[in-house]
């Protein structure tokens, strides 16, 4: 018998955590998928330093999942923690919550695991001792008597994102993680449709599907579209510009690669400025996921200061790539807008290769950032970006590929889960019967 | 010949300042109307303390009007500063800008002048020496050889709001200030339609009209509607509640009076908590504009702490009225939501008798406030409120009452001014000919 | 054991129909609540004449409830049809569906039953023979061995709206119908809080609650607010106007009464023009629900033509009240805008005492109507109106009054039902356990 | 001296018409640019057949430009009518208005002129005798003593779109027509930046710029993005589908070409169904602008019926391309949704390669269309589309390329023109001084 513990991420976008239990009547074995953080809940309290807080404090703030539901019964063993991909809303609470399951091994693709290790390293409250294993796509890992897990290659806005298949005697439980169906990713990553079809044939007992953008009545554009948007600006009009500054997600390695390619084509040097850009590209480079030729990344406060001074004196030779697309306090672009580090002004164009994450706090920060940049005469070009999340028609296609017996929509506010449920009904499912809209802290028992 | 100097408030809602000049060929006499502040521009810089800043610093931030256009020519004398009403976006820059016109007297209705004196008193950078005179409705004050000014009774969300008529040899220039046409204000204030009709007959050369809500295709509801909304909740369902906390604008004396009446009817004591509530009601009481019977206002940090402790132990005996409806940092409600001052929680209901002022910074602050209150289990009732600004059909009525020769829309973002201009075109005016959409720092020369 | 058949109105606003079954183990007795129509689905097909269509055709179009779920099992008897109030989305399908339950009596308050009889009379496809009984508030009608029904006085935008209590051996099932909590209705109707509290004490097993406006985070304004909005315009500015034309819902008897009172105060004659206005006020007058003193209603095409000609020649003597606030084809105002019946133009002001019902078809019709009126120079004043539906905080109050064991949100699109469920969770309920989000054609079995 | 007659299209999106006059003191020579129709104003009156209506009737409805301002003065001669491109809001009134200027020659690129001739041919009220000339890009045509006109290659959503330069002794007046800056159009059309830069150097006296999408703070995506969106769906997921139906603008030749290419790659036959598709592709084919290899277009009612029957019996062999993306009554897709022509249903997927044109009438028609398709179980994929209009940053780039002395924003509602003016102010212009927000029927005299 299979249970889905919808621990967290079922009432918000953020702090994702789900668990899947298989019981043979005697004992239940459980696999946890993801342990994420909700930055929003940290941001509304000004003085929060995550690294120094305890699990209980962060749970009280609503910043990390409340996993108490997993501790209640006796005859239950958590046998594995699987991480779908390296975004913080999926791995950011690992240093706080993995200690609840000591010795339980953590699995993920190499890029994900390396990022998770970084989280563990910077933790200041807990010491995390769980073993952490890098897993390859295709590999099937037997994690307990009854359960094996498998990572399936999928496309998202970070490298090596995976769907996780949990093989049980009752059938497969497939957790999508975050995904889109991108057939034209410039870096070559592609969904493993073949394996998905095979799983569909084997028999998917439960599909646990993210639902962030299920309300968009279309197919999500390929990353190739973002590349086209950037090239269409930079390689034509951009050639006439002096200072060029791009900002995007530090973990969005494809996007960064495109920007580096563009800089090369323009005959400019790409300079990545900011701690998190250095972190994500550093690990990516190590794994061969990005080619930094023609680019350099600076990290330490001194190096940042020095390089920005250098750039400001010959702006036409560089393409700056900086943090701060959400107007985050302390990010490089935010500090520039405050008149620090670089005299940003009329000679500069800022390209936002990112949307505003829909949340009043981000809207306010972006508003501050843009107002300040506008007052300095900076030109801004927004929305040269595409989403990393599947839209309604991608979700429909996945359902048709897998033909799952049951569906549990995940990763979204209640209204997103219900939108997914409506889609499932269009495909012949019935709410309460084989598609289950759940809430944080509930258990869905699969009939 | 008449000139309208559209100094500020023509590209934003905030920092209003207009000047009207009359020239007899030899010399120009000028009346300034309002000197306001733009809080938004202060808020985007975290460490701004207005009182300590210079005029130049605040102008650079865009926080107060840039009035340099008035200093340029020689043959010009500023003969009076008229204040339409006591809101900060109309009087908040007086301590910074009045010193530019030393000795020039400042006029306004008693409540407005008393508030303006408060601004001057708390100023820390400048010493302001301009004489300040309280003017009665109906009085016509000769302020120079050619110009007399007159304050006309109108309704707005603060007592003693006025339209200002500037009588010149070329005809009347009427500045609306902020207004609505409220025929049922519970405290009895009413627009002086009679005088407006008389002015219309005398001949209005220029109407300078606020345009904040001109896009709303209706008539703005009376303050009596707000009273009804509050009574319909408090006097029925509210009778079953324990802790009751209302929050509204500190300068909204009518609304505060209604809340005090309601408290009396409920058999509860109204307790006004917060510095600005004490300030505005204090002056209002002095002028007989509010009856504090059955209420008390506390101001000093110690008194606030003491009274809130007292209230928290017998919540059913009080109606708390607090600052913080926009989630302002440091306001009483904001601090309550952070767990300070009063253990707000499941036994409390917060009534927002105020909308959210449309600005990303306010949305973010309200979001923080409401999230925190919700996490504590507080019940919230929103939008028991009506606006103080005229809607499209009120504006149309004013145009028909006055039949002005020329119109200059004011007090709004560019799109609001253009909405007003479209309304004027419906009434037979023509953009560029007799209705003028202007910008900050421009001069409209009346043909 | 109790079952709630969520037949229709659980995926849309419109065509409401719910049934409640009580089974003593041997046999099930069923009460149907409401049989409504969905006008939207009729409107998207141009050539639909409801009166002439069969039940099956209309069900296929999605215009009336699909009630097949009630026919399936054998040991079941429909013992009563209860109508909550007289709006078409609650009674408009009675002539098509009551014949499915021959001989089953229909109950409702007098105004509701008289309107339902009108529906039956104009039906052209079926002959309806069900007995129809007028029931008084307070009366408890034993409709079968185990079930008694009771109509409880509540406020809505039509007279004599009722909540329906179904008394069973397992406890009370309370269906709210459509409602708001209005404590200041100018015509004196008021919610029967006393009886609701008594039912709460007796024990409400299931609350079936409408959820149309549950997302509005406030309390719905009283009808007294609409009266204030109308008086604030008509009795001041309106006194200067020539042609005055108001339009509102024909069944909104309170609103019509207010308009007649206003006409009397203005010294004008109220003239109600249009077939449906005559119908609804006619029945209301018969029951003493409206006083037509100072007013007259015209209905026949000839009379309409004649009276409008008369009015057009002395507009200042009349207040026209017409159909057409949604721009419905064929309505009086729509025809006026097309240049028929009355030369509407610069001398006329149209007051919309109604919002636009949120639906793309209505938006388009209103757009056509307003564009045509604007081209003729007509002045329009919109939104002098308040809703008849409970907002979030009204719903919360009802839950606290009744403290029901289980809740089934009804009357809304899926997202409205889920909004209601979220509210219920705030009040301590749990989705799937004691609050049930259902869909058309489902059965909720109460545990 | 130069005058810009902002005849029409300055208060709406639609019925564009502008004229440029040059006067040497004695006599004025005038060039008209575009004569468009406003379909919205036709749609709100149900029974309008444009072809049979007179100019005066259509002007009264607001459906075509009111050009009376051009007839008033004597010393004025209209020497040429220039058409920027073939969309109906630019050429649709030519048959009604060209007769006002008998003998005046009409100029345009070949595709535009051929479409304009089609308009003239189908006209039933007037006989149009103006000579019509096909002009090549680069050619400079002397149209009168003082004026020469030139068509400059630009990109838009129809082939051979042009900017029009009017060379006068006082300098160049450049009218943009509709445009975007697309550097990656799959069919190879590209903006003639070189010529634009030359004109900038020669000196542009006035820029008349469309402003439809100037509020979008980005650069408009290339048509290559639309191609990517279509390929990403059709060539992967589409390969598993049975019935495939695409709908787009009949004049959007690039998009149709991409769909035909896609059909070829999928091994399906592209079948274009509908009168207007046949019209636009027919002329395009004749000019070598589209390759119909692997495609066929059917036009006559009989052929349509026959081919759709054929397709319906082997859906997997075809890619249908049909009219009806806005839900237009009578269009092929609209009729399919009504159950005519083809039994559309569960086996079919409709791809909307078009947005909904923002207008309440279109929203309503799309709503009807989509509701009907959904009721039949049809899958819909929306928004595989990009706009043909320049966004804010494209407009900024044009201003920087040309550095014009004066700007007149055109082609938009008042708020769009004012958005453009705000952009111009960011680039150093000043409203009323060198950027002019005008209205229908006004004259802007260039200082």
Q: For residue B439, which residues of chain D lie inside 8 Å, CB to CB? A: 425, 430-431
Please check the confidence at residue D385 and state whether its pLDDT lies above 80. Answer: yes
**So what's the pLDDT on residue D194?**
97
pLDDT band at D46 (very low <50, low <70, confident <90, very high): low
Number of C-alpha atoms within 13 angstroms, CB side, residue B286? 11
**So what's the pLDDT on residue D43?**
74
Residue D360 forms contact with C (CB below 8 Å):
yes
Listed in sequence order, the DSSP H helices in C62-217 are 88-91, 94-97, 110-122, 193-202
Q: C85: annotated binding-site residue?
A: yes
Taking CA atoms, C240 is separated from C233, C235, C349, in Å, by 11, 9, 11
The residue with tokens 């605040």 is: B58
Residue A237 forms contact with D (CB below 8 Å):
yes
Query: Does ipTM come in above 0.85?
Result: yes
Please check the confidence at residue C260 and state whether its pLDDT lies above 80. Answer: yes
Express each pLDDT in C336-370 by its tens digit.
Answer: 999 999 999 999 999 999 999 888 999 999 999 99
Residues A281-290 have a mean pLDDT of 97
Choose the weakest-confidence range: A385-389, B129-133, B267-271, D52-56.
Answer: D52-56
- Touching D (3+ Cβ pairs <8 A), the chains are A, B, C
Q: CB-based burial of residue B25 (10 Å sphere; 0-12 exposed, 13-18 middle, 19+ buried)?
A: exposed
Please check the confidence at residue A166 and state whether its pLDDT lies above 60. Answer: yes
Q: Of C108, C217, C203, which is closest to residue C160 (Cα–Cα)?
A: C108
Distance of CA C47 to the CA centre of its chain: 25
Please check the confidence at residue B152 and state whether its pLDDT lies above 60. Answer: yes
Radius of gyration of the CA atoms of chain A, in A: 22
Look at B44 and A363 and tell me if their CB atoms are within 8 Å: no
**Strands annotated E in B130-231:** 132-134, 140-142, 148-153, 162-168, 171-175, 204-210
Choose the weakest-confidence range: B440-444, C36-40, D300-304.
Answer: C36-40
Residue B431 forms contact with D (CB below 8 Å):
yes
Please check the confidence at residue B48 and state whether its pLDDT lies above 70. Answer: no
Distance of CA A325 to the CA centre of its chain: 16
Task: Choose the closest CB to A367 out of B360, B368, B375.
Answer: B360
Express each pLDDT in B260-313 by its tens digit.
Answer: 999 999 999 999 999 999 999 999 999 999 999 999 999 999 999 999 999 999
Q: Of B12, B2, B66, B10, which is closest to residue B39 (Cα–Cα)?
A: B12
pLDDT band at C375 (very low <50, low <70, confident <90, very high): very high
Lookup: tokens for A112: 């994900």
**So what's the pLDDT on residue C215?**
95
Q: D47: annotated binding-site residue?
A: no
Strand order in the sheet with C148-153: C140-142, C148-153, C162-168, C171-175, C204-210, C406-410
- Touching C (3+ Cβ pairs <8 A), the chains are A, B, D
**So what's the pLDDT on residue A48?**
59
**So what's the pLDDT on residue D48?**
60
**Longest C-alpha distance within chain A, in Å?**
71
Distance of CA D88 to the CA centre of its chain: 6
pLDDT band at C51 (very low <50, low <70, confident <90, very high): confident
Please check the confidence at residue C201 and state whether its pLDDT lies above 90. Answer: yes
**So what's the pLDDT on residue A39?**
82
Which residues have C-beta within 8 Å of that of residue D402, sequence separation ≥ 6? D174, D196, D199, D200, D204, D207
**So what's the pLDDT on residue C415?**
86
Known binding-site positions of A: 85, 87, 89-90, 156, 178, 385-389, 411
DSSP letters for A68-96: GGGTS-SSEEEEEEE-----HHHHTTHHH
Taking CA atoms, B437 is separated from B209, B445, D416, in Å, by 11, 12, 15
What is the CA angle B378-B381-B384, rounded to 5?
Answer: 150
Other CB atoms within 10 A of residue B302 CB: 9
Q: How many CB pairs under 8 A join C and D?
A: 35
**So what's the pLDDT on residue D28?**
95
Number of C-alpha atoms within 13 angstroms, CB side, residue B319? 25
Taking CA atoms, D65 is separated from B162, D44, D91, in Å, by 45, 17, 11
Residues of B numbered 399-418 whose beta carbons fall under 8 angstroms of chain D's beta carbons: which are they?
414-415, 418
DSSP letters for D185-214: -TT-----HHHHHHHHHH-EEEEEEE-TBT
Q: B85: annotated binding-site residue?
A: yes
Express each pLDDT in B204-259 by its tens digit.
Answer: 999 999 999 999 999 999 999 999 999 999 999 999 999 999 999 999 999 999 99
Domains of chain D: 2-219+388-445 (3.60.15.10), 223-381 (3.40.50.10710)
Pick among C182, C196, C215, C221 to test the B interface (most B CBs inside 10 A) = C221
Task: Choose the closest CB to B381 out of C182, C219, C236.
Answer: C219
Residues A211-239 have a mean pLDDT of 97
Three-state DSSP at A4 gives strand
A140, containing H or E segment: strand A140-142
The whole-angstrom distance between C164's CA and the closest CA on chain A is 28
**Strands annotated E in D324-413:** 348-352, 379-381, 406-410
The whole-angstrom distance between C37's CA and the closest CA on chain B is 32
pLDDT band at C48 (very low <50, low <70, confident <90, very high): low
CA distance D214 to D219: 10
Residues D274-297 have a mean pLDDT of 95
Express each pLDDT in B81-136 by its tens digit.
Answer: 999 999 999 999 999 999 999 999 999 999 999 999 999 998 888 889 999 999 99
- Touching A (3+ Cβ pairs <8 A), the chains are B, C, D
What's the predicted TM-score (pTM) here? 0.94
Which residues have C-beta within 8 Å of that of residue D188, sequence separation ≥ 6? none
Lookup: tokens for A290: 């990005």
Other CB atoms within 10 A of residue B96 CB: 28
Q: For residue D224, which residues of chain A lie inside 8 Å, CB to CB? A: 228, 232
CA distance C17 to C32: 7
Choose the weakest-confidence range: A37-46, A427-436, B400-409.
Answer: A37-46
pLDDT band at A298 (very low <50, low <70, confident <90, very high): very high
Q: Of D253, D236, D237, D226, which is closest to residue D355 (Cα–Cα)?
A: D226
Q: What do you get for the CA distance between the two ends of chain A, in Å?
A: 8
Look at B219 and C237 and tell me if their CB atoms are within 8 Å: yes
Radius of gyration of the CA atoms of chain B, in A: 22
Look at D221 and A222 and tell me if their CB atoms are within 8 Å: no
Residues recorded for chain B: 447
**So what's the pLDDT on residue C161?**
98
Express each pLDDT in C17-29 by its tens digit.
Answer: 999 999 998 899 9
Look at B228 and C232 and tell me if their CB atoms are within 8 Å: no
Lookup: tokens for A151: 């990572």
- Fill in the DSSP letter of residue A317: G
CA distance C307 to C321: 12
Question: D153: phi > 0 → left, psi -120 to 50 → alpha, else beta; which?
Answer: beta
Task: Give the chain B residue whose CA is nearest to the CA of D415.
Answer: B415
Q: C395: annotated binding-site residue?
A: no
pLDDT band at C46 (very low <50, low <70, confident <90, very high): low
Which residues have C-beta within 8 Å of that of residue C153, sequence separation ≥ 6? C137, C162, C189, C190, C191, C192, C195
CA distance B356 to C167: 45
**So what's the pLDDT on residue C123?**
86
CA distance C98 to C95: 6
The whole-angstrom distance between D419's CA and the closest CA on chain A is 16
- Asked if D370 and D342 touch (Cβ cutoff 8 Å), the reply is no
Choose the weakest-confidence range: A6-10, B350-354, D356-360.
Answer: D356-360
CA distance C15 to B242: 40
The mean predicted confidence, pLDDT, of chain B is: 95
CA distance A446 to A171: 11
Residues C38-45 have a mean pLDDT of 78
The mean predicted confidence, pLDDT, of chain D is: 95
Q: How many CB pairs under 8 A join B and C?
A: 82
What is the CA angle B100-B51-B274, rounded to 5?
Answer: 130
**So what's the pLDDT on residue D47?**
59
Residue D426 forms contact with B (CB below 8 Å):
no
Listed in sequence order, the DSSP H helices in C318-444 are 332-337, 360-375, 392-402, 414-426
What percent helix, strand, coil does chain D show, rounded to 5? 35, 25, 40
Q: For residue C430, which residues of chain A lie inside 8 Å, CB to CB? A: 439
């Amino acid at each position: 018998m299979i249970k889905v513990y919808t621990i967290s991420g079922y009432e918000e976008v953020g702090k994702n955590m789900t668990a899947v239990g298989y019981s043979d009547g005697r004992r239940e074995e459980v696999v946890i998928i993801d342990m994420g953080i909700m930055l929003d809940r940290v941001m509304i309290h000004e003085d929060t330093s995550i690294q120094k807080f305890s699990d209980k404090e962060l749970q009280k703030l609503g910043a990390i999942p409340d996993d108490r539901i997993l501790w209640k019964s006796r005859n239950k063993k958590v046998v594995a923690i699987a991480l779908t991909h390296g975004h913080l809303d999926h791995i950011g609470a690992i240093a706080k919550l993995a200690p609840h399951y000591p010795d339980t091994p953590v699995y993920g693709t190499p890029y994900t695991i390396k990022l998770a290790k970084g989280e563990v390293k910077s933790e200041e409250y807990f010491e995390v001792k769980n073993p952490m294993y890098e897993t390859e796509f295709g590999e099937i890992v037997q994690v307990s008597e009854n359960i094996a897990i498998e990572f399936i290659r999928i496309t998202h806005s970070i490298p090596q994102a995976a769907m996780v298949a949990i093989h049980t005697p009752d059938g497969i439980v497939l957790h999508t993680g975050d995904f889109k169906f991108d057939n034209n990713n410039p870096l070559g990553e592609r969904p493993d449709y073949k394996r998905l079809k095979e799983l569909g044939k084997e028999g998917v007992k439960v599909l646990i599907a993210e639902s962030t953008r299920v309300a968009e009545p279309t197919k999500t554009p390929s990353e190739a579209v973002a590349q086209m948007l950037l090239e269409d600006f930079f390689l034509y009009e951009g050639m006439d510009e002096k200072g060029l500054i791009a900002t995007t997600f530090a973990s969005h390695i494809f996007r960064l690669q495109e920007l580096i390619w563009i800089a090369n084509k323009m005959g400019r040097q790409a300079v990545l400025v900011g701690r998190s850009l250095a972190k994500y590209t550093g690990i990516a480079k190590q794994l061969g996921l990005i080619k930094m030729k023609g680019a350099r990344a600076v990290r330490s406060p001194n190096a940042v200061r020095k390089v920005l001074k250098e750039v400001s004196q010959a702006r036409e030779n560089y393409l700056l790539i900086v943090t701060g697309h959400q107007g985050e306090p302390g990010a490089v672009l935010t500090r520039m807008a405050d008149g620090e580090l670089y005299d940003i002004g009329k000679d500069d164009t800022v390209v936002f290769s990112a949307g505003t994450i829909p949340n009043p706090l981000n809207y306010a920060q972006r508003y501050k950032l843009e107002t300040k940049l506008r007052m300095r005469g900076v030109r801004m070009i927004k929305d040269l970006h595409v989403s990393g999340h599947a839209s309604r028609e991608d979700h429909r296609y996945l359902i048709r590929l897998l033909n799952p017996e049951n569906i549990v929509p995940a990763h979204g506010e209640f209204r997103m889960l219900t939108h997914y449920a409506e889609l499932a009904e269009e495909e012949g499912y019935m709410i309460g019967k084989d598609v289950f809209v759940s809430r944080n802290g509930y258990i869905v028992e699969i009939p």
